[in-house]
Structure 1
Amino acid sequence: MSFLSRLFGKGQQSLEHPQAPAEFTFNQRAAAFWDWFASAAEELRDIHNQGDRKQLPSIVSPKVDEFLPGMAWVFGPGTEKGFHSFTLSGEGVMYRQILADQWLKRLPGIENWTFYASRQPEEEVGDFTLVDDDLKFRPIEFWLTPEIDEEKEKVHLMLWHPLIEKAEERLCMQALFLVLDEILGEFGTTRWVGSIQFSQKRLAESMPITELKEFVEETRASRGWKMLSPVDTWNGYSIPPAKRSAARRMDTMGGSCGCFPVLGSFFDEPKKFEDPFLEMGAAWVYLSFSSADLPKGNEVEVREAMTDVIVSALEQDRSGIPLGGATGERLAYMDFLIFDGERSLARIREAARKAGVPADTRLEFLDSRRPGRPLFG
């Protein structure tokens, strides 16, 4: 049985001086967490083997809270006898999923443990009950009628439950996603499940929800659908002509993005936007320069070639990753997520010179509280 704990970053230092923050970068945080886990691995394994798992929150929660605030965690079985697993999860929040993925990529060798950056499917679906007032709702009692969407490579679900007429939709959704995560795993639910509707009647061709995994696997295999992780999925975007302006990045005609939920929040309120990556020592930065500096008709290719040079430099010591880029009516943009503070910025600056980035390029933080500056100034 696993234990899941959602943590919310207690006691984090406020960003009173965004121009000169005290650096505790994501790379430093991840390294500190792995150092601690390596030192505690045998103790945690003994607790698991003895079956007294009530001790785990008091041991693990303070460390996750200190180094990786906001993340959820769960213990489970390992891949071999005597092994155990530890999962750090963003619980469907895109920016946290990206950081959980990066946390896992910094894994040192720790014997007898398996680690995951998203909740994995359970071997057996738990028969648990949610209690809402006097209503006892068993998620395992859902029946569903699937509809295959060939174009979107999704399975849409129409669901019925014996208590569907008595339960609020909020409770139905909560119960459904708890059981879907057990059946398909955290990323599997995001990848394969399309639209969701609840029916007041049990449809004739419905199946118990416990058969969904087999149905999805058969559908995926027969059609050649690929399991794409959310952290590897990019979105195209543009600002509609009627909404374009001289405000920050609001001149964008077209771009691509590896974390659009965050960028979309920025576009909603640029002047008030606060970068959520900052809470774990990462930061969204971008380079901006005149679109006129790009060869007409070849703007995207040249911008991406410069981006590739910078990304290669960042990858040398896991200092950052690309988050996309865009072309605007006035400016062109290159987006990066940095993990090592000023050291990452130095990498970008050095690589940008080699890539031929224009001399008047500016380095900007997506966060509204952090002022930009000339990249080469």
Structure 2
Amino acid sequence: MIFSRGRKQDPVVEFWAWWPTIRPAVTEAIATGAFEPLTPQISKRVAAIHKDLTWEFSKGAGARHALVVSPGGNPALRATVARWGALAPAADPEWEFHTARQPDHETLSATIEIAGAKLDLALLRFAFSRDEDSAAIDVIGHHPLFRKLPEPVRGQITFLALDWLLGEEGVELWVGAVDFSAEEPDGARDPLDLAAAVDALREEHREPQWVVFSAELRGRPVTGIAQRPLRSARWPRFDTHVAVVLPYRDGAEGLPSDEVADALSAFEDGPLETALHGNGELVAHETTGGQRTLHYYVDGASSAGDELTAAAAGWAGGGAAGQGAGPAAAGKAKVKRAYDPGLEAVAHLS
């Protein structure tokens, strides 16, 4: 007799197959407040996807209710949550689904109890300033009761308030340094003023923006470009760094001549871009000492990494149209690949 082991079921697919069976009971529980029997069931299904995911129900933006499954600020879980969201059913008047906590301005007018104190959240204030270099807004939170609360609780309240004000994704994308103060900082303003500043920054970056930079490394000039903001929350599926290093014939001080620069750009815009098939993004490149390093981030579950590697082999491929750089190349391309959901490999460019 031949025994075969069944294939392990995909917990994301299982979750969405199960959701319609529990949805009526969840809708009713929201109306009655009788959540106790349902909470363990939902927690078990979410934990089956990953034990560190968080979940909650909230008021929807377009629907009456929303189910949120979030990575909780852990970049390693963003690709998992993105896949959960991609397989979610279409929103309807009753339910919508999100992969990050959504803004909830109503909570900022409530009174909460924390660490034995009652805080009127309407008294929260934020001082903030724009960090032009990183396309982010630095924030200092303040509440009159902070002077009576220990530092960890002040921080907890500040970060919770930012999530309610901007949504989890808004904080990850547009907020830089976060601090909190027992004394009211100079320039402290209403939270909605901070929300308006973030909205303006988001609108400014609605289209992808690139920053040109130059520096010196060990006596050699370095030039390059990088996307702004350079934050992993922009590309939740793209968890794998692929560095494509293209050696070229040196021009002045190790930088490419105009002719070689054109060949590099054509190779980037042609074979390498085609290899992505929507499963990756070029986020930056650096040029120095006779080589250009292109920093791609790809969906590690896709074939994009393999296809980039195959396409890069055409760099010294003889110069046929769309195949390689011909005389611009000074050797074969090198490709390095590593799991990097937090964009650590390009942190020096952010």
Q: How high is the TM-score relative to the length of structure 1?
A: 0.61
Which AA in structure 1 matches 2:269? D
Q: What's 2:334 paired with?
A: 362
Q: What's 2:273 paired with?
A: 311
Report the Cα offset of residue 141 of structure 1: 5.8
Equivalent residues of 1:143, 1:206 under 8 A apart: no
Q: What's 1:129 paired with?
A: 113
Change (3 A) 1:360 1:34: same
Equivalent residues of 1:157, 1:193 under 8 A apart: yes
CA RMSD of aligned residues (A): 4.6
Q: What's 1:5 paired with?
A: none
Q: What's 1:106 paired with?
A: 86
Q: Which residues of structure 1 form unaligned runs of 5+?
A: 1-28, 245-250, 263-276, 369-377
Equivalent residues of 1:104, 1:115 under 8 A apart: no
Equivalent residues of 1:231, 1:258 under 8 A apart: no
Write out per-residue CA displacement over residues 318-343 of structure 1, whole angstroms, 9 at most, x where no aligned residue.
53333332223243222223325573
CA distance, structure 1, for counterparts of residue 175 and residue 302 of structure 2: 40
Pick one of 44, 59, 66 that aligns with 1:77.
59
CA distance, structure 2, for counterparts of residue 197 and residue 281 of structure 1: 29
Is 1:241 matched up with 2:217? Answer: yes
Q: What's 1:182 paired with?
A: 164
Equivalent residues of 1:129, 1:137 under 8 A apart: yes
Is 1:332 matched up with 2:332? Answer: no
Change (3 A) 1:257 1:292: farther
Is 1:256 matched up with 2:226? Answer: yes
CA distance, structure 2, for counterparts of residue 185 and residue 226 of structure 1: 13
- Counterpart secondary structure, 1:53: coil
Q: What's 1:322 paired with?
A: 282
CA distance, structure 2, for counterparts of residue 197 and residue 339 of structure 1: 34
Change (3 A) 1:340 1:72: same
CA distance, structure 1, for counterparts of residue 206 and residue 57 of structure 2: 22
Report the Cα offset of residue 231 of structure 1: 12
CA distance, structure 2, for counterparts of residue 236 and residue 54 of structure 1: 54
CA distance, structure 2, for counterparts of residue 143 and residue 87 of structure 1: 25
* 1:273-352 matches, cutoff 5 A: 282-292=239-249, 295-297=256-258, 302-309=263-270, 310-315=272-277, 318-341=278-301, 343-352=303-312
Equivalent residues of 2:165, 2:195 under 8 A apart: no
Change (3 A) 1:347 1:197: closer
Q: Which moved further from structure 2: 164-173 or 85-94?
A: 85-94
Which AA in structure 2 matches 1:256? A
Q: What's 1:18 paired with?
A: none
Which AA in structure 1 matches 2:338? L
Q: How high is the TM-score relative to the length of structure 2?
A: 0.64
Aligned residues with identical type, % of pairs: 18
Q: What's 2:24 paired with?
A: 46
Equivalent residues of 2:309, 2:335 under 8 A apart: no
Is 1:118 matched up with 2:86? Answer: no
Which AA in structure 2 matches 1:169? E
- Counterpart secondary structure, 1:226: helix
- Which structure would you say has the larger Rg? 2
Report the Cα offset of residue 257 of structure 1: 5.7
Q: What's 1:212 paired with?
A: 191
Report the Cα offset of residue 47 of structure 1: 3.3
Report the Cα offset of residue 121 of structure 1: 0.5
- Counterpart secondary structure, 1:165: helix
Which AA in structure 1 matches 2:111? D
Write out per-residue CA displacement over residues 115-140 of structure 1, whole angstroms, 9 at most, x where no aligned residue.
22322111511533222xxx536371
Question: What is the aligned length?
Answer: 304
Which AA in structure 2 matches 1:40? W
Report the Cα offset of residue 43 of structure 1: 2.7
Q: Which residues of structure 2 form unaligned runs of 5+?
A: 1-7, 315-321, 341-350
* 1:58-73 matches, cutoff 5 A: 58-67=40-49, 70-73=52-55
Q: What's 1:268 paired with?
A: none
